[in-house]
Structure 1
């Protein structure tokens, strides 16, 4: 059996890759990194480094034109500022809508694209790193259990029952993901999560705050450098 892993270069997807390699062996794992028009390429470079570390096949795909009409603050063409502060604070200002760093239906497009490539590569599983913290409060609705179940059904049926989604962290918070990753000796020093593209992670955006907190809850320090 083979597996394709959606690898962003961040903490969650890298832990997913480590799990897939443990399950299938690196020769049976393909890493897929998708450029969607984000402000910087640091996470793509991190994904490359992580796939090289695990010695898995690495594929990149450009879907940036799909998001050219969006003004999401994560996108290079957007004039919107990336918000600072924890997601729970950001959600207080959205009136139930996703946070401004939500890229429209990104995971749906990523998983659909991954399905086409996975079938071509003879894979039976697609791994991705959605977890409960991102889904909480509707911050990122395409990380929820309901979304995952619906996409899994669509991909399973649409592939002629050849392909399924594996979302191992869907019921875990980010601290739980880090706990699992530490047990697997994941090279978190190679990863990049920050929404900014500076030399060091900003430490102030929602994903930086969540990441630092996850390591602290595991009684350890994040190995990457932060401005704050």
Structure 2
């Protein structure tokens, strides 16, 4: 069995990568990272560092032009600011709509591209790190179980029943993912999640808040928080 992992260099995809390596062995795992015009291009460096750490093949693809028509706040060409508030607060303001950092049908596009590459690389399964917290309240609808079931069926049928899609965390919370990763000794200090993409994580955007809370619920501190605090201490 060979697996292709949608790989952003964040907590979810890195934990997914570690699980795949444990299950399928390193030589049977391929990581796929995507540049799509995001402000936080620093995640691509994280992906390269982690792929090097695990010594797995890393493929990179540029889909920036496809999202040129979107005003999503996550994209570099957008004049919208990334919200500095929890997803719970963002969802209240959205009133049932997707949050402003939802990139239109991003996972649908990523998985379709990945399916073509996976078939060309003789892979049997595509894995990605969508989880229950992202799907909650329609924040990111392409992270839901319903979406995963539908895209899995489409890709399975469209590949001549050769390729499946799995989202192992789709029914989990982020704290559960961190727990798995800590048990697998995932190098979370190499990962990147912050949407601002600056030198240190901002600690204020939705993904930073969720990430840091997930570590706290596991009785530990996000290693990126430690780095940020060390930097602040040096400034004082």
TM-score under structure 1 length normalisation: 0.98
Alpha-carbon distance, 1:10 to partner: 0.3
Structure in which a larger fraction of residues adopt helix:
2
4+ runs deviating over 4 angstroms: none
Alpha-carbon distance, 1:113 to partner: 0.4
Match of 1:19?
19
Unaligned runs of 5+ in 1: none
Alpha-carbon distance, 1:197 to partner: 1.5
Alpha-carbon distance, 1:41 to partner: 1.7
Mapped partners of 2:223, 2:7: distance in 1: 19
Match of 2:34?
34
**For residues 100-129 of structure 1, what are the alpha-carbon distances to aligned partners after superposition, in whole Å with 9 as ceiling and x for unaligned?**
000000000000000000000000010100
Mapped partners of 1:120, 1:70: distance in 2: 30
Mapped partners of 1:116, 1:126: distance in 2: 11
Match of 1:2?
2
Count of aligned positions: 228
Match of 2:162?
162
What are the equivalent positions in structure 2 for 1:24-173 lying under 5 Å apart? 24-173=24-173
Alpha-carbon distance, 1:95 to partner: 1.8
Secondary structure of residue in 2 paired with 1:92: helix
Secondary structure of residue in 1 paired with 2:223: coil
Secondary structure of residue in 2 paired with 1:93: helix
Secondary structure of residue in 2 paired with 1:151: helix
Alpha-carbon distance, 1:214 to partner: 0.2
Unaligned runs of 5+ in 2: none
Mapped partners of 1:64, 1:97: distance in 2: 24
Mapped partners of 1:177, 1:40: distance in 2: 22
Mapped partners of 1:90, 1:167: distance in 2: 25
Mapped partners of 2:93, 2:114: distance in 1: 33
Alpha-carbon distance, 1:16 to partner: 0.3
> Pick from 225, 228, 234: which aligns with 1:226?
228
Mapped partners of 2:81, 2:153: distance in 1: 36
Mapped partners of 1:14, 1:226: distance in 2: 21
TM-score under structure 2 length normalisation: 0.95
